[in-house]
Amino acid sequence: MVPPFTEAQLAHWDTYGFLVLDDVLDLELDIAPVVAEYEALLDRLCQDWYAQGKLSSTYAELPFGQRLIKVFAESGQAYYQHFDIALPGAGVTEETPIHTGPAVFSLLTSPRLLDAVEMMIGPEIYSNPVQHVRIKPPKRLVPEGHVNSLVQATDWHQDQGVILPEGDETRMLTVWLPITDATAENGCLAVIPGSHTEGLAPHCFGTTLRSDLHIPDRFLARDQAVPVPVKRGGVLLMHPRTKHSSLTNESNDIRWSFDLRYNPIGQPTGRPAFPGFVARSRSAPNSALPDNRAWTELWRAARTRLAHIEQQRFNRWTADAPVCA
C-alpha cells in the first residue's frame, strides 16, 4: 500500500505541479504481465507481417525491445496503433486497432495505483479515456518528418490543452508510469516546475517539423525545464496544466511508458466521444467495471460509432488562430 503523502510531498505538488512516487507498482503483479501481453501481441504481428512478405524474419529470438526496433527499422510498419489503449483522434474505421488486454486493464485498475490516485482526487475514481501507451524506438530510427508522438519525442503541451473546454474544471490527474526505466538518455519527461499556476496556454497544430499539437515557444520558459527520471514501478503525477514534453530517445533500446488519467466520477472527461469507466468507488463498489471484456466492448462500440461520423477534434484552437500564426 502506498503510504500517506507527507507534508513535503504535498508542498512539492502544490508548488511545482508534479510529484514522483517510487515503488508504487509491483513489478511482478503489475508490470510483468503487461510485458508478457505485449510480447505476445508483437509476436502475432511479426508472424502476420512475415507471412505477408513485409518482414524477412519474425525475429523471434530477440527480446521485446530489440525485436520491435528490428521490425520498425526493416519494415517501417506503423506498429504503434496496434499497441495503443485508445483510438486515434481522427480517421477511425471499423478495423482501427486498439489494445484492451487483461494485463493492461489490471494495470489501469491496480489497487496500488488507485491508492495513490485516491490520495489526490478522492475515493470515487473514474478512468479517463485520454490515455496512451508510448513505445519509442531510438531517435536515429525514426524517419525525418515523422510526427506521431507515440513514436517520437513528445512536444511541449499541457494535458488540459488536448481536451475540450467541458473538462476545464475537472479535477483530472495525470499518472505517467514507465515500463522500462525512464532516463534522460532514453527520453524521460521534462517539466517546467510551477507552470500549472500560469493558466492554459494556446496549443497549435504542428508542421512537418513539429508534433501534431504543441505550445508555441513564446509561451514556454524552456530555460526552467527539468528532466524527471522515473524508475519502473514508480509513477509521475502531474497537474493538468503542468507544461511538459519528453526528451528524445538517444539510447539503443526502446523507452516504454503509459500515460493515464483519472478524475472524480461524474466530472467531464474532456473527450466525450471516448469511453471511460469507473475504476473504484468506495460508495458503490459494484459500479466499478468488472474486467477487460467489458472495457473492450466499450471501445468497440465507440469505434463503430466513430467510424460512421465525422470525428470531433479535441483541439480548441484552429490552425488559422492568430495566436498560432
**DSSP-derived secondary structure letter, 312:** P
**Is residue 80 included in any domain, yes or no?**
no
Rounded CA gap, 260 and 23, in Å? 17
**Is residue 67 included in any domain, yes or no?**
no
pLDDT tens for residues 41-54?
A: 999 999 999 999 99
C-alpha cell at 114: 488507485
Q: Partners of 214 in the beta sheet?
A: 204
**Which residue, among 1, 301, 284, 282, has the nearest Cα to 129 in the 3D structure?**
301
Estimate to the nearest angstrom the gap between the alpha carbon of 251 and the chain centroid. Answer: 20
pLDDT tens for residues 260-280?
A: 999 999 999 999 999 999 999
pLDDT band at 199 (very low <50, low <70, confident <90, very high): very high
CATH number at residue 286: 2.60.120.620
**Is residue 167 included in any domain, yes or no?**
yes
Owner of C-alpha cell 525485436 = 67
Specify the pLDDT at position 75.
77
pLDDT tens for residues 90-103?
A: 899 999 999 999 99
- Asked whether the beta carbons of 131 and 241 are under 8 A apart, the reply is no
**Is residue 202 included in any domain, yes or no?**
yes
Residue 145 pLDDT exceeds 90: no
**Quick one: average pLDDT of 178-203?**
97
3-state secondary structure of 269: coil
Specify the pLDDT at position 165.
94
**Is residue 104 included in any domain, yes or no?**
yes
DSSP 184-237: TTTT-EEE-TTGGGS-PPP-EE--TTS-SEE--GGG--GGG-EEE-B-TT-EEE
Residue 154 pLDDT exceeds 60: yes
Rounded CA gap, 48 and 122, in Å? 45
Residue 78 pLDDT exceeds 90: no
**Is residue 249 included in any domain, yes or no?**
yes
Specify the pLDDT at position 148.
63
Which H or E run includes 264?
Answer: strand 255-264
Q: How many separate domains does the chain show?
A: 1
Rounded CA gap, 137 and 187, in Å? 10
Rounded CA gap, 304 and 314, in Å? 19
- Asked whether the beta carbons of 140 and 69 are under 8 A apart, the reply is no
Least confident of 69-78, 164-173, 220-229: 69-78
Rounded CA gap, 191 and 306, in Å? 34
C-alpha cell at 138: 531510438
**Is residue 82 included in any domain, yes or no?**
no
Least confident of 22-31, 134-143, 172-181: 134-143
Specify the pLDDT at position 77.
66
**Is residue 6 included in any domain, yes or no?**
no
Residue 304 pLDDT exceeds 60: yes
Q: Render the burial of 232-259: b for 16+ CB within 10 Å, e for the rest.
A: bbbbbbbbbbbbbbbbbbebebbbbbbb
What pTM was estimated for this model as a whole? 0.94
Residue 35 pLDDT exceeds 70: yes
CA torsion sign, 78 to 82 to 85 to 87?
positive
* Residue 180 belongs to domain spanning: 18-35+91-311
